[in-house]
Amino acid sequence: MTQAKTTGGNQGQVIWVTGASSGLGRSLALALADQGHSVIASARNEESLSSLEEANPSIIALPCDITDESSLRAAQEKISTNFPGLDEVILNAGNCEYLDFPEPDWSAIRRVMEVNYFGTLNCLQIALPLLRKSAAARPHIVVVASQVTNAPFARAEAYGASKAALQYFFDSLRIDLAPENIDVSVVNPGFVDTPLTRKNDFDMPFLMDVEDAAQRIIGQIASRPRSYSFPRRLRALLFISKLLPAAWQKMVSRDIGESVPASQPSQDSKL
């Protein structure tokens, strides 16, 4: 990061996207930069961040491990040295590990919470003072949670709990930041084709293209919704399945989250 830029006005916004080295974050960073915003793109994979900078000069790479205190301190210093404030932060970085019963790796729960919940809040802690310095009338916090919280998925105890924790935290935060005119939006994607879901060995209903998902998010968050869940078809399916008796619920969502036995490969394109 070498250039100081101003916030607000007609020059585009200053937007920090976490988890920008791949998947949704990468597509969001590129699409927002194409719209003329200055995008601070953070993640651990420096090579991938450099390629983003090469793709669009409005993107500034910020290598950072959101679970590491010294890395976060360095990131905070870099942002505040180079920008007077932030207009928007998209807290997108996340990870998914499943629990395989009957003998799950219990330490996975802590690892997932460390990135998805505590890591996201570490970034919020850095972003909030910078959002308060924004020249924009209403700075914006966007957090990427998940539709996984709409119904129980097999093996997703750790991941789902981390996203439910985020939803509650940011729904409460919205109330506390309202007097400061800082908006808070919770984005709940369904299944999107990214490196995170390519590890899944089960059928993913309504799997979406990553660029399409990023465009939908950008289009919707502009109006500052409290939450945005997409695609609606998945939300409806999960909502209905949650109201059904347990046996029927299992029928509706029978394949979601459950490993497909090697002898019965999924119909989904295994990516």
Q: Compute the least distance from the CB of residue 110 to ligand NAP, in Å.
A: 13
Q: Which of residues 128-157 bind ligand NAP (CB under 6 A)?
A: 144, 146
Residues 158-197 as x/- pattern, contact with ligand NAP by CB under 6 A? -------------------------------x-xx-xxxx
Q: Angle, to 10 degrees, between the axis of helix 46-55 and the axis of helix 23-34?
A: 20
Closest CB 240 distance from ligand NAP, rounded Å: 20
Judge whether 67 and 114 are in contact, CB under 8 Å: yes
DSSP letters spanning 2-44: ------SGGG--EEEEES-SSHHHHHHHHHHHHTT-EEEEEES
Question: HSE on the CB side for 129, CA within 13 Å?
Answer: 8
**Is 117 an active-site residue?**
no
Q: How far is the CB of 122 from ligand NAP (least distance, A)?
A: 9
**Residue with Cβ nearer ligand NAP (95 or 266):** 95
| 234 in contact with ligand NAP (CB under 6 A) | no
183's enclosing H/E stretch is strand 183-189
Of the ranges 2-10, 76-84, 86-94, 247-255, which one interacts with ligand NAP (CB under 6 A)?
A: 86-94
- CA pseudo-torsion sign 161, 162, 167, 173: positive
Closest separation in Å from C-beta 258 to ligand NAP: 17
Sheet holding 38-43, edge to edge: 59-63, 38-43, 14-18, 88-91, 140-144, 183-189, 227-230
In 3D space, the residue among 209, 166, 215 whose CA is nearest the CA of residue 190 turns out to be 209
Number of chain residues interacting with ligand NAP (CB under 6 A): 30
Taking CB under 6 A as the criterion, which residues in 87-106 touch ligand NAP? 92-96
Site for ligand NAP in 13-32 (CB under 6 A): 19-25
Binding-site ranges for ligand NAP (CB under 6 A): 19-25, 43-45, 64-67, 92-96, 115, 119, 144, 146, 189, 191-192, 194-197
Q: Return the active site residues.
A: 159
